[in-house]
A and B are shown apart, each in its own frame.
Chain A
Amino acid sequence: AQSVAQPEDQVNVAEGNPLTVKCTYSVSGNPYLFWYVQYPNRGLQFLLKYITGDNLVKGSYGFEAEFNKSQTSFHLKKPSALVSDSALYFCAVRDMIKAAGNKLTFGGGTRVLVKP
C-alpha cells in the first residue's frame, strides 16, 4: 500500500531564511507526488506536482520541490520564507501503477511557522 511520511510536525523559520518541508513516500510503482497548503479554516490549496521529467518542480508562490527517487523523497523548498507562508503543508502521493482515478494518500502534515 502507498504511504507518505512527513517527519516533522512543525518547522520554525525566520522570515527571509530558506524553508524546507520534508516528505518521503512509499509506493509499489512510480509515484505521482503533490504538495498542498492549508490556511486556517480553508481547504487545501494546490502548490505543485511531480509527474515525470525534471526532478526539480517549480510551483506557486515561489515554492519548488525536489524529487529524489533513490531516497524516495519529495521535499518542498522556498529560498526566502515570508510570514504569510505560515500554514499547514501536506504532501500527497498517487501510485501510478495501482491508482484508479484521482485518489490521493496524504502525509500527516507539517505546520510551518515563519517568524518576523
Chain B
Amino acid sequence: KAGVTQTPRYLIKTRGQQVTLSCSPISGHRSVSWYQQTPGQGLQFLFEYFSETQRNKGNFPGRFSGRQFSNSRSEMNVSTLELGDSALYLCASSLSFQPRSTDTQYFGPGTRLTVL
C-alpha cells in the first residue's frame, strides 16, 4: 500500500506571497493532519481534517488554513508568507476520527518551504 504523499517536496517563496501544499493520505485513511517542524519550535500541530471538515486546530494564525476533499486528499494554504514560516510541513494520515482515538498517524516525507 502506498504511503502518504506530499507535493511539492521543496518550495521557495518570497515574503508576502501565498503557498498551497498538497497531501494524499494512505488509501482508506480518512483523517489528515498537518504539522509544522522548525528547529526552534519543534513539531507543532496545525489542524486535522475528517470528512471534509476541520475537526481540530492548533495555535496558529488565520493565515494558515486548510481543506479536505471528498477523496480525503488535503491541501493547506499559507497566505502573506513571513520569514518565520520557513519550515518542513508534514502531513499525517489516520484511519478515522474518534474522541479517544488509538489510531496511528502515518507521516509523509514533508514539504520544505523556504521563505526569502
Contacts and interface: CB of A to CB of B under 8 A. Distances in A.
A109 to B, nearest CB: 7
Contacts of B50: 101
Contacts of A108: 42
B63 interface: no
Is chain A's binding surface mostly helix, strand, loop or mixed?
loop
A109 B90 CA distance: 16
Interface string A95-108: 01101111111111
Contact of B104 (A42, A46, A103, A107): A46
Given A43-B108, A45-B107, A108-B42, A101 B97 contact: yes
Contacts, number: 70
A108 B42 CA distance: 6
Contact of A43 (B42, B90, B99, B104): B90
Interface in A36-52: 36, 41-46, 49, 51
Interface string B74-116: 0000000000000000101010011111111111111010000
A103 B56 contact: yes
Interface residues of A, number: 27
A63 interface: no
20 contacts: A34-B104, A36-B107, A41-B109, A42-B110, A43-B90, A44-B92, A45-B107, A46-B104, A90-B43, A97-B100, A99-B100, A100-B55, A101-B33, A101-B98, A101-B99, A101-B101, A102-B48, A103-B48, A103-B58, A104-B45
6 interchain residue pairs of minimum CB distance: A43-B107, A106-B43, A44-B107, A102-B94, A43-B109, A101-B97
Interface of A: 32, 34, 36, 41-46, 49, 51, 90, 92, 94, 96-97, 99-109
Interface of B: 4, 6, 31, 33, 42-43, 45, 48, 50, 55-56, 58, 90, 92, 94, 97-110, 112
Given A36-B107, A43-B107, A94-B101, 14 more contacts: A32-B102, A34-B104, A41-B109, A46-B106, A49-B102, A92-B43, A100-B55, A101-B33, A101-B55, A101-B98, A102-B103, A103-B45, A103-B48, A104-B105
